[in-house]
């Protein structure tokens, strides 16, 4: 699954490059402003960011503040990680549900410069990323609770 998301992100990045390159050529060579290129590049960037954030959650590589977890005794580090993951899980449930509601509420609206692009498409990647992140969070929680069954705990020393 990770390789597929890496490939999709790579393809989206390449498409974003082509869109931006076309925008520069159109503006400087043909002297025509293609407004849709800027908007499409922004949407592609959003897609890449949210797919990448799900992958970061699987590896537990998001930015974190460790001032508390670094000072906890070893016996509490595991429970602190589990608590943080539970809070993240609650946030991601609300995030995913809200993104789903945005899909429903914006189904009839289109991007201003791209009449073929429904704004709901933008929210679809948020729902997909949210579901993927929820799955990775559950996997990481299982790794914390049952390290022998779900593989070695990745962050036993870092909290």
* Residue 90 falls inside a structural domain: yes
Q: What is the pLDDT of residue 23?
A: 92
* Residue 46 falls inside a structural domain: yes
* Residue 24 falls inside a structural domain: yes
* Residue 6 falls inside a structural domain: yes
**Tens-place pLDDT, residues 7-44:** 999 999 999 999 999 999 998 998 888 888 989 999 99
Q: Domain count for the chain, please give it.
A: 1
* Residue 152 falls inside a structural domain: no
CB atoms within 10 A of CB 151: 11
* Residue 43 falls inside a structural domain: yes
**Tens-place pLDDT, residues 46-85:** 999 999 998 888 888 887 778 888 888 888 888 888 999 9
Query: Does residue 157 register a pLDDT over 50?
Result: no
pTM: 0.81
How far apart are alpha carbons 30 and 41 in whole angstroms?
A: 20
* Residue 157 falls inside a structural domain: no
| Residue 30 belongs to domain spanning | 2-145
Helix H or strand E segment including 97 = helix 74-105
* Residue 126 falls inside a structural domain: yes
Termini Cα distance of the chain: 26
């Amino acid at each position: 699954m990770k390789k597929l998301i890496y490939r999709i992100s790579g393809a989206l990045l390449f498409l974003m490059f082509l869109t931006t390159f076309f925008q520069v050529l159109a503006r400087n060579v043909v002297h025509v402003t293609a407004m849709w290129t800027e908007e499409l590049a922004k949407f592609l960037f959003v897609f890449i960011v949210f797919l990448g954030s799900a992958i970061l959650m699987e590896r537990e590589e998001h930015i974190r503040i460790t001032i508390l977890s670094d000072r906890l005794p070893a016996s509490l580090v595991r429970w602190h990680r589990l608590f943080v993951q539970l809070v993240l899980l609650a946030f991601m449930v609300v995030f995913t549900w809200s993104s789903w509601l945005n899909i429903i509420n914006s189904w009839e609206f289109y991007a201003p410069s791209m009449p073929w692009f429904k704004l709901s498409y933008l929210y679809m990647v948020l729902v997909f990323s949210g579901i993927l992140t929820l799955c990775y969070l559950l996997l990481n929680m299982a790794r914390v609770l049952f390290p022998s069954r779900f593989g070695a705990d990745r962050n036993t020393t870092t909290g």
